[in-house]
Amino acid sequence: MENFELLMGGLESALTPMNLLYAAIGVLLGTFVGVLPGIGPAMAIALLLPVTYRLEPTSAFIMFAGLYYGGMYGGSTTSILLNTPGESASVMTALEGNRMARAGRGAQALATAAVGSFVAGTIGTILVAFFSPALADVAVELGAPSYFALMVLALVMTTTVLGTSALRGFAALFLGLAIGLVGLDLNTGQPRLTFGVTQLVDRLDIVVVAVGIFALGEALWVAAHLRRRPAHVVPVGRPWMGRDDWGRSWKPWLRGTAFGFPFGALPAGGAEIPTFLSYLTERKLSKRGDFGRGAIEGVAGPEAANNASAAGMFVPMLALGLPVTATAAVMLSALQGYGITPGPQLMTDHADLVWTLLASLLIGNTLLLVLNLPLAPLWARLLRIPRPQLYAGILFFACLGAYATNLDPFDIGLLVAFGLLGLMMRRFGLPVLPLILGVILGPLMETKLREALTISGGDYTALLSEPLAVVIYILIALFILGRPFIARLRARAEQSAEVEDEKELVD
């Protein structure tokens, strides 16, 4: 257990009072940055760089680690309370989290997000510490065909959340895929569906779409009914998670971690697909049927997946010196500032620094929990603000977020357009979830498909050229073919259960 000793050594050098102070500053700043829409952890670290050059590398990295995890966690707060996800990774959290908040269970939603982030972050960091080099070697073997297969799996799973009307569900899904087409075709450099507007040449920012459809659409919908419906007052909930909440949360935390970590470790994994798969899995597994009305599993799973993927990012960064996210790129450029060359030798040549960094990730994660858990009930009281003021606040926040990303008023117009689309969809009973999933999945799928086909020269059999891809397609086939069969089995099981219930009643 050489690695274990090294990690303990790292903890020892990281656990000085000064470093703890830096970790606390990092966590606080990170949470704050995560709460503010439009500023991500990458930007925050870039802003901090000049300050930290005067610090020891160890202290600087402890601060960055706190900032990174803090930012990942902070994004969930606004998603849950205001329905305004600050980054694409917390879009899934908003779905059930905001429902919970409006049912008076905001404190529980925030708490399960905090504990789930802690659990996933800790497990993820420990996995990074022990398995990085081995995982990284496997990860680079996966190419576009495997990624594409994963996205097809996600798309097929999307069909389970189409809602009551399959037609409306598919309409929303294809609308989402169409929105995902807007922008420059990255392989040929041709603009698509941009109508000559420069700002549309980039792919649409998923945050603007999600906030427009969720938050703005909802606010407009509420405003349209303000006089006709009695005011719905958010009930005062309990401040802490109950026994039932813990019981419902721990499995999604672990499953979410299992989804998130491998994706984070992949060079093109990201946090969107795992949060998304975690949400769909929890929804499928849930027996209570309260998904869509505030199921705690729908917050616990995606939040854990989000943070586990955040931890997974360190696998390629530390084992290969590869920055796979903007945050990793900024952290690696910080290393260069200390005269350290990032690369495969990082773990051997600068072992002390790497282990201190891993230890500081654990510390940052713990501090995050300690600071945020007591705050959850306080945050949740924010929703007690009367409705007009609350929604005005949400609108302000949503516009600020859209504007802050690019400092371009055009994005506010875009936000309003998507808000109107969201309102229309609510009016005509189109489900919004398939649309969001289409917007997220479409471009990712396209990029990977095009990459695979460019490499193979247009040969479609190349899509089956990697073992993982084949395994996934078999799973998909089983899933589709097995569905009627499972449905029949379930119906039979329910029937026999009913019979037994009746028997019990008779007894």
Partner 1 sequence: MLVTCLLAAASACGVTRGAESRDLDMWIPNSPGGGYDQTGRAAVGVLDRDNMTGGDIQVTNILGAGGSVAMSRLMSEEGNGNLLMTIGLGVVGSTYSFGVDARPQDATPIAQLIEEQEGVLVPADSPFKTIDDLVKAWAEDPESIVVGGGSSPGGPDHLFPMQLAEAAGIDPKEVKYVPYDGGGPLTSALLGHKIEVGFSGLAEFEGQVEAGELRVLAVSGDERGTGVFADAPTLTESGIDLVFLNWRGVLAPPGISAERRQELIDLLTRMHDSKQWQQALKDNGWTDAFVTGDDFDDLLVEQDQRVASTLKELDLL
Q: Cα separation of 213 and 172, whole Å?
A: 12
CB-facing half-sphere around the CA of 433: CA atoms within 13 A: 21
Does residue 207 touch partner 1 according to CB under 8 A? no
CB of 400 to partner 1, least distance (A): 6
Does residue 470 touch partner 1 according to CB under 8 A? no
x/- binding map, residues 103-142, to partner 1, per CB under 8 A? ------------------------------------xxxx
Among 28, 254, 329, 412, binds partner 1 (CB under 8 A): 329
Q: Cα separation of 275 and 305, whole Å?
A: 5
Does residue 346 touch partner 1 according to CB under 8 A? yes
Among 330, 369, 380, 398, binds partner 1 (CB under 8 A): 330
Give 183's strand partners.
Answer: 192
- Sequence-distant (≥ 6) Cβ neighbours of residue 392 within 8 angstroms: none
The three-class DSSP label of residue 289 is coil
CA torsion 164→209→291→269, rounded to 10°?
110
CB of 202 to partner 1, least distance (A): 5
Among 407, 481, 505, 506, binds partner 1 (CB under 8 A): 407
Does residue 187 touch partner 1 according to CB under 8 A? yes
Q: Could you count the other beta carbons within 10 Å of the beta carbon of residue 217?
A: 23
DSSP state string for 359-412: HHHHHHHHHHHHHHTTTHHHHHGGGGS-HHHHHHHHHHHHHHHHHHHHT-HHHH
Which residue carries 């989290």 as its tokens? 97
Q: Cα separation of 378 and 386, whole Å?
A: 16
Does residue 45 touch partner 1 according to CB under 8 A? yes
Q: Are 107 and 238 within 8 A, CB to CB?
A: yes
CB of 52 to partner 1, least distance (A): 12
Does residue 189 touch partner 1 according to CB under 8 A? yes
Cα–Cα distances (Å) from 287 to 75, 171, 297, in that order, read 28, 27, 11
Does residue 181 touch partner 1 according to CB under 8 A? no
CB of 407 to partner 1, least distance (A): 6
Among 16, 336, 495, 496, binds partner 1 (CB under 8 A): 336
CB of 363 to partner 1, least distance (A): 24
Does residue 201 touch partner 1 according to CB under 8 A? yes
**Interface stretch with partner 1, choices 84-92, 211-219, 343-351, 432-440 (CB under 8 A):** 343-351
Does residue 408 touch partner 1 according to CB under 8 A? yes
Structure tokens given for 43:
């930007």
x/- binding map, residues 252-291, to partner 1, per CB under 8 A? ---------------xx-----------------------
- Sequence-distant (≥ 6) Cβ neighbours of residue 456 within 8 angstroms: 462, 465
CB of 180 to partner 1, least distance (A): 16
Whichever of 46 and 420 has its CB closer to partner 1, that residue is 46
Q: Which helix (H) or strand (E) holds 470?
A: helix 467-506
The three-class DSSP label of residue 197 is coil
81-104 per-residue burial string, b: 16 or more CB within 10 A, e: under 16: bbbbbbbbbbbbbbbbbbbbbbbb
Q: What is the CA radius of gyration of the chain?
A: 23
The three-class DSSP label of residue 84 is coil
Q: Cα separation of 279 and 213, whole Å?
A: 19
Whichever of 25 and 43 has its CB closer to partner 1, that residue is 43
**Interface stretch with partner 1, choices 29-37, 68-76, 286-294, 493-501 (CB under 8 A):** 29-37
Residues of this chain, 304-323, that bind partner 1 according to CB under 8 A: 316, 320-323
Among 400, 417, 468, 476, binds partner 1 (CB under 8 A): 400
CB of 99 to partner 1, least distance (A): 24
Whichever of 304 and 347 has its CB closer to partner 1, that residue is 347
Q: Cα separation of 67 and 29, whole Å?
A: 6
Residues in the interface with partner 1 (CB under 8 A) total 61
Does residue 327 touch partner 1 according to CB under 8 A? yes
Does residue 339 touch partner 1 according to CB under 8 A? yes
Q: Which helix (H) or strand (E) holds 456?
A: helix 433-456
Q: Cα separation of 238 and 107, whole Å?
A: 7
Q: Cα separation of 306 and 259, whole Å?
A: 9
**Interface stretch with partner 1, choices 40-48, 107-115, 125-133, 283-291 (CB under 8 A):** 40-48
x/- binding map, residues 139-168, to partner 1, per CB under 8 A? xxxxxx------------------------
Q: Cα separation of 243 and 373, whole Å?
A: 16
Does residue 328 touch partner 1 according to CB under 8 A? yes
DSSP state string for 235-260: PP--SS--HHHHHHHHHHHHHHHHHH
Does residue 496 touch partner 1 according to CB under 8 A? no
Strands (E), 100-256: 183-184, 191-192
Does residue 237 touch partner 1 according to CB under 8 A? no
**Interface stretch with partner 1, choices 36-44, 229-237, 301-309, 481-489 (CB under 8 A):** 36-44
Q: Where on the chain is the footprint of partner 1 (CB under 8 A)?
A: 32, 35-36, 42-43, 45-46, 49-50, 139-144, 184, 186-189, 191, 198-199, 201-202, 267-268, 316, 320-324, 326-330, 333, 336-337, 339, 341-346, 396-397, 400, 403-408, 451, 454-455, 457
